[in-house]
Amino acid sequence: MNWRAPSISAIQRTTAFLTVAFAILMLVADSRAAALGCLVGGALMIGNLFVLTIIGRAIVALAQGGGAGKIGVMLAPLKMFVFVALVYVLVTTTHLAPAGFMAGALTQFVAIFIETWRAAARGVFVRPEDQQA
């Protein structure tokens, strides 16, 4: 079987495109607050995935060096705590529309499905004689 995985950069590009497209739709259909919420939610998800890749590399590096113990175990939950706190501060102190924010945050999940489908479609066009196990 020839499995192809989408790249992080492809997911990021698709997320950015979808975020802008959804924000434009919200600006036309709803309000400026919803569009701004969408942009902020999408940007936060792009930043989250970027930081997650850095933390993943750090955990692997720590594990290879033998010092993964407490630091490696704490990095991912600490990142999540920071992002949850950031979302809380953004939603409570600004006038972002929660529906717009959630739509922006969900663009990354849609982008993951799109890029996984694209990667799988690229694998379909492999000649049968090239699929040696």
Model pLDDT, residue 5:
78
Task: Find all residues with CB under 8 Å of 122, minimum gap 6, and list them.
Answer: 4
Whole-prediction pTM value? 0.78
The two structure tokens encoding residue 21: 């497209």
Report, as ranges of residue numbers, the positions in the chain whose pLDDT lies below 50.
Answer: 1, 126, 130-131, 133
Contacts of 43 (CB under 8 A, 6+ apart): 19, 104
**44-60 pLDDT per residue, tens:** 999 989 988 888 877 77
Averaged confidence pLDDT in the chain: 83
How many independent structural domains does the chain possess? 1
Task: Write out the residue range of the structural domain in which residue 39 sits.
Answer: 8-118
Q: Residue 60 domain-assigned?
A: yes
pLDDT of residue 24: 96
Two tokens, residue 107:
């663009």
Structural domain contains residue 19: yes
Nearest to 126 by CA among 13, 11, 2: 2
